[in-house]
Homo-oligomer: A and B are copies of this chain.
Amino acid sequence: MADKEISKAVIARLPRYYRHLGELMEDGVERISSNELSLRMKVTASQIRQDLNNFGGFGQQGYGYNVKYLYTEIAKILGIDRQHNLVIIGAGNLGQAIANYANFEKRGFLIKGMFDINPRLIGLVVRGIEIRSVDDLEQFVIDNNVQIAALTIPKTKAPEIADRLVRAGIKAIWNFAHTDLTVPDDVVVENVHLSESLMRLSYRVCNMQDQESDKYRQTAKNS
């Protein structure tokens, strides 16, 4: 498993490969060539081969790629073969939406706890997870070996909570708050700015005429 410089562009595409391979497995497909996959995913076969080659030869000439093997290998690369403990901070609709999305647990993301400042929410149980007071946040993170925190709170509170998480030793923040976070460089921040996504959509709607494309197409880009 050569640990040398995989480009961000490649990593960004891996989850989509993973999803399609999962669907192929469900359909009982055992092997697939880069060409078939290319047709299905609407990307060039060249790119598929080059992407996968970054991690060493998963394919075999004259045969193609073994679906199941490739699926588990990508899981390893993405680190979703291990368990990640996470907490959700902000038990509003968005926080609960994440808590309710069962599939995360299948991918090894285990929701250990939820937190909020609203006294009305504290004590409630969502999917078997009790909503706690943010006062207990740091101790909980330490006690439960929590690596990832999903931040689904207003932007005004986000920087302070982020600082507290960092001090408690968090490894990564999944940031849904509409603000940039400043953290030490050994802490990962993955932003999900929905309003920015909607603005990009708005631009594309307003500038439809000059949209590069080729009649019926599948959606590939962006998160």
Give chain A's interface residues, CB within 8 Å of chain B. 3, 5, 8, 11-12, 14-16, 18-19, 41, 77-80, 82, 84, 92-94, 96-98, 100-101, 103-104, 107-109, 147-148, 171-172, 174-175, 178-186, 188-208, 210-211, 213-223
Contacts and interface: CB of A to CB of B under 8 A. Distances in A.
A221 B223 CA distance: 12
Contacts of A174: 197-198, 201
Top-8 shortest CB links A-B: A79-B206, A93-B97, A15-B196, A185-B213, A190-B201, A94-B97, A189-B219, A15-B199
Contact of A205 (B171, B204, B214): B171
8 contacts: A78-B199, A93-B100, A94-B94, A172-B204, A185-B214, A190-B198, A190-B201, A191-B219
The winner among A19, A92, A171 for most chain B CB atoms within 10 A is A19
Contacts of A172: 201, 204-205
B188 A204 contact: yes
Contacts of A220: 180
Task: Please state the number of chain copies in the assembly.
Answer: 2
B215 A184 contact: yes
- How would you classify the secondary structure of chain A's contact residues: helix, strand, loop or mixed? mixed
Contact of A203 (B79, B92, B100, B191): B79
B78 A194 contact: no
Nearest to A74: B199
A38 to B, nearest CB: 14
A147 B198 CA distance: 13
Nearest to A77: B203
A93 B3 CA distance: 39
B100 A218 contact: no
Contact of A196 (B84, B96, B147, B223): B223
A210 B15 contact: no
B188 A205 contact: yes
Contacts of A197: 174, 190, 192, 223
A196 B211 CA distance: 25
A192 B195 contact: no
A78 to B, nearest CB: 5
